[in-house]
Amino acid sequence: MPPLESSQRRHAPGPLLSERLSGLTMRPTRLQIALTLAGAAVIFAIDTFAPLDIEIAVLYAVIVIASANLLERRGILIVCGVCMTQTILSFAIVHGGAFESGPALRILISLCAIGVATMSALWNREAAESLSAQAALLDLTHDAIFVRDRNDLITYWNAGAEELYGWRRKEALGRNASALLKTRYPPSAGGAEQFADQSRWQGELVHTRRDGGEVLVVSRWSVQRDESGRPIATMETNSDITEQKHAEDALHQARSQLEHVGRISTLGELTASIAHEVNQPLAAVVTNGEACLRWLLRDEPNLEEVRIAVERMIGNSRRAAEVITRLRAMARKANPTRVALTFSDIVADVIPLIEREMMSNDVALKLDLQAPAQIVLGDRVQLAQVVINLVVNAIQAMSETGDRPKILSIRSGVSPEDPEARMAVLQIEDTGPGIDPEIAKRLFNAFSTTKPGGMGMGLSICRTIVESHGGSIAADTGNRSGALFTIRLPLLR
């Protein structure tokens, strides 16, 4: 199966619906103009030089209606004026100054017919223009919008659909929508049933584009009804979320990597108990060694006791060696690779992963990254994990702040204090509630958390990683209108 891809502009947009609707205002061809003029001239000639018993001037109304398909509002008014002038001119030529009520009534009817035709042409034009304006709006949106009738045949296809799926409007119109887009529903969608019940549906779908690539879309359906309420078509509005999905997956992956590092860095937390485990057998070795010496130094050395003590010493030494072996096996997994990099590189790696999380939590990002030359030696993945953890904590903290603006600031620079020991500095600040004083003192200890489902491992892992890079991490715990975390790493000289 081809991988999911996000849309790219591959086609120049085709003719817009607004353009099609404004077919009424398409430039008239010379032939059309000539025919209209000829029609008006013929009517004038017959009306003037071969007067019939019928009021031929009524036919000017046809000329006005025909011109409505060719001309703008001003043009229609000019045609109306010309037709009326010709009608009056013919009347003047044929009847001279003599006034007769019959012909006068007939010319009045003709003039009325031309007027009514003009007004109706102008109304039609207005309606077409308003429809065309609405259609132009549908073409402005980046969403892919199409309409399919009750037989699933596409009757409308906007510019966004052309862009997302790759088929031009004229290629898509009349095709079967499900077959064209090879629509696939996630098993839980229940689309058709819910749609039948409520005339509305929203969910995620997979569509196939013209080039065979698949796109994941959020699809919103609504039913269109005729005047008597019968469903006649379905309008689908589809937004491409393929890239967002990729970002979510990447974030998920980054989090599970963080958890993996968590397992490794619990080593730091476990150092004390590991030391205890190694100390115990070592102490036993010493005790047994001393006992062994005592048995040997007796007047009559008790070799059997010596053998037992030596066996115990060997056993305990093996236990200690096993603990060390386990420790080394765990440590090997961490296997950090150090390269020269800057905090800007790390932040650039992290932003795409957290963008979606920020957007859905309404968080604004303020970046102030200085001096790309501030190079440190570090493990790119581990340092990215530190930044992700701090950012995710900040976003979570700000989600509790209600209406206060949610701003995440990421700044980098160099600590100016001591020119000899200058460090690269990264600061991550939020506008959340700040650090709870309850846990301020043990913030970086494992299992310190104020979150109901929290593990309290994130910050402890961050500290382990930063310290293993020869740096430090600190939090401003006194500030109750936001938290500020500062990471310092030695500059590569």
Among 174, 454, 470, 478, binds ligand ADP (CB under 6 A): 454
Count Cβ neighbours within 10 Å for each residue of 273-285 and write b for 16 or more, e otherwise. ebeebbeebeebb
* Nearest-angstrom CA–CA distance, 143 and 343: 36
Question: Could you tell me which residues come within 8 angstroms of residue 417 by beta carbon, excluding any fewer than 6 positions away?
Answer: none
Tell me if 450 contacts ligand ADP by CB under 6 A.
Answer: yes
Looking only at residues 287 through 306 of this chain, which bind ligand ADP when binding is defined by CB under 6 A? none
DSSP type of residue 176: B
Among 71, 114, 254, 443, binds ligand ADP (CB under 6 A): 443
Tell me if 268 contacts ligand ADP by CB under 6 A.
Answer: no
* Nearest-angstrom CA–CA distance, 69 and 46: 25
Residues linked to residue 476 through DSSP beta bridges, in sequence order = 484
Tell me if 429 contacts ligand ADP by CB under 6 A.
Answer: no
E strand or H helix that includes residue 408 = strand 407-414
Q: How far is the CB of 486 from ligand ADP (least distance, A)?
A: 12
> Which of the ranges 22-30, 231-239, 265-273, 448-456 carries the binding residues for ligand ADP, by CB under 6 A?
448-456
Tell me if 263 contacts ligand ADP by CB under 6 A.
Answer: no
Tell me if 315 contacts ligand ADP by CB under 6 A.
Answer: no
Return the number of the residue (9 or 451) whose C-beta is nearest ligand ADP.
Answer: 451
Looking only at residues 474 through 493 of this chain, which bind ligand ADP when binding is defined by CB under 6 A? 483
How many chain residues touch ligand ADP (CB under 6 A)?
A: 22
Looking only at residues 377 through 416 of this chain, which bind ligand ADP when binding is defined by CB under 6 A? 389, 393-394, 397
Return the number of the residue (8 or 479) whose C-beta is nearest ligand ADP.
Answer: 479
* Burial class (CB within 10 angstroms; exposed 0-12, middle 13-18, buried 19+) of 204: middle
Tell me if 439 contacts ligand ADP by CB under 6 A.
Answer: yes
Q: How far is the CB of 164 from ligand ADP (least distance, A)?
A: 38
Among 166, 262, 432, 471, binds ligand ADP (CB under 6 A): 432
Asked if 60 and 40 touch (Cβ cutoff 8 Å), the reply is yes
Return the number of the residue (61 or 354) whose C-beta is nearest ligand ADP.
Answer: 354
CA distances from 130 to 18, 116, 124, 352 (A): 10, 21, 10, 41
Residue 220: helix, strand or coil by DSSP? strand
Asked if 260 and 302 touch (Cβ cutoff 8 Å), the reply is no
Q: Identify residue 469 by its one-letter amino acid code.
A: H
* Nearest-angstrom CA–CA distance, 23 and 131: 12
CA distances from 269 to 189, 388, 462 (A): 45, 21, 13
Among 244, 409, 449, 472, binds ligand ADP (CB under 6 A): 449
Q: How far is the CB of 199 from ligand ADP (least distance, A)?
A: 43
Tell me if 467 contacts ligand ADP by CB under 6 A.
Answer: no
Tell me if 352 contacts ligand ADP by CB under 6 A.
Answer: no
> Which of the ranges 21-29, 51-59, 230-238, 457-465 carries the binding residues for ligand ADP, by CB under 6 A?
457-465
Residues that bind ligand ADP (CB under 6 A): 389, 393-394, 397, 430, 432, 434-436, 439, 443, 448-451, 454-459, 483
